[in-house]
Amino acid sequence: MSYEGAIYRPPSEANSLILQVTVGCSHNNCTFCSMYKGKSFRIKSKEEIFEDIDNYSHDIYTKAFLADGDAMLLKTDLLIEIIRRIRLKMSNIKRIGIYAHANNLKTKTVDELRLLKKEGLNIIYVGVESGSDKVLEKINKGIGSSEMKKQLLKISESGIKLSVMIISGLGGRKLSSEHAIESAKLLNEIKPKFLSLLTLMLEEGTEFYKEVQNHKIELLDPEEILLETKLMIENLDLKNTIFRVNHASNYLSLEGILNKDKNRILREIEVAIKNKDYIPEYFRRL
Ligand code: SF4
């Protein structure tokens, strides 16, 4: 496989073959994110992508993941060709996942998404980050919550599994409650199959970092992060959503099915707060 720059993938794709179909992120403008800052966005050519697939025709992987930041920007026809090529060359691949910015989904109709599902696209990962318009605007996400909802409902309608990520602490102290409550509201409407919480990591050189240095944003401490998580979970009303807080950035690991395990998860948060039982700062990473 040939990769340009650092490659990122969701924790649940740790054992997947990562195929880089785009380089960087076409938005590349979120104030807290430095992941693709060093890369100019481009879509790899079909020849480059096929060469990667053909040169890596081993049967050791059962899952494939299409990167970078918003691989869903590719035209549907090209995505179908890529999926077919993967399945042709690697017969053990049973599941294909992809990253998408919610704005990328504007380029896809529900019928196109259904077609992609039929071809073998099983899961789409979207960094929702927050359901609060105030937070989304502040971090320069490039999309508001009502458009986000409209685009993400298309995924559920198509039958493709939707996995979303929310970032704890993203609203700072001032918008912490708003971030928790509005994120819960959006999640209740889109009802994702998977919900992951990451915790904000402050990265030098980002706009967010500068705002913290200039005292425009106050960061949450571990207890405040967990109180924010608790408030969000209290406001969630989901059915069979697989909830995971298992990223290296988190202060506490949690998992369960929502709403079924809601009370148990809330109790675990309360116990962690009472005992100040947090994963130490030096263990946290992106
Ligand atoms: S958070 Fe996602 S959309 Fe925003 S700049 Fe980073 S990769 Fe791009």
114-165 confidence digits (pLDDT tens): 999 999 999 999 999 999 999 999 999 999 999 999 999 999 999 999 999 9
- The answer to whether position 261 is within a domain reads yes
- The answer to whether position 248 is within a domain reads yes
Average model confidence (pLDDT) for the chain? 95
Q: Residue 161: its pLDDT value, please?
A: 98
**How many angstroms is it from 167 CA to the middle of ligand 1?**
12
3-state secondary structure the chain: CCCCCCCCCCHHHCCCEEEECEECCCCCCCCCCCCCCCCCCEECCHHHHHHHHHHCCCCCCCEEEEECCCHHHCCHHHHHHHHHHHHHHCCCCCEEEEEECHHHHHHCCHHHHHHHHHHCEEEEEEEEECCCHHHHHHCCCCCCHHHHHHHHHHHHHHCCEEEEEEEECCCCCCCHHHHHHHHHHHHHHHCCCEEEEEECCCCCCCHHHHHHHCCCCCCCCHHHHHHHHHHHHHCCCCCCEEEEECCCCCCCCEEEEECCCHHHHHHHHHHHHHHCCCCCHHHCCC
| Band of pLDDT at residue 200, cut at 50, 70 and 90 | very high
Of ligand 1's atoms, which has the minimum distance to the CA of residue 68?
Answer: 7
Q: Name the residue of 7, 25, 29 to mutate for ligand 1: max ligand atoms within 8 A of Cβ.
A: 25
- The answer to whether position 155 is within a domain reads yes
- The answer to whether position 5 is within a domain reads no
Give the domain CATH number at 156. 3.20.20.70
Return the residue whose CA atom lies nearest to atom 6 of ligand 1: 33
- In short, whether 27's Cβ falls inside 6 Å of ligand 1 is yes
- The answer to whether position 284 is within a domain reads no
- Summarize pLDDT for 17-76 with one digit per residue, the tens: 999 999 999 999 999 999 888 888 999 999 999 999 998 867 789 999 999 888 999 999
| Band of pLDDT at residue 5, cut at 50, 70 and 90 | confident
The whole domain housing 255 covers 11-276
- The answer to whether position 3 is within a domain reads no
- In short, whether 30's Cβ falls inside 6 Å of ligand 1 is yes
- Summarize pLDDT for 225-259 with one digit per residue, the tens: 999 999 999 999 999 999 999 899 999 999 999 99
Q: Residue 39: its pLDDT value, please?
A: 82
Q: Residue 56: its pLDDT value, please?
A: 80
**How many angstroms is it from 33 CA to the middle of ligand 1?**
6
* Number of domains the chain is built from: 1
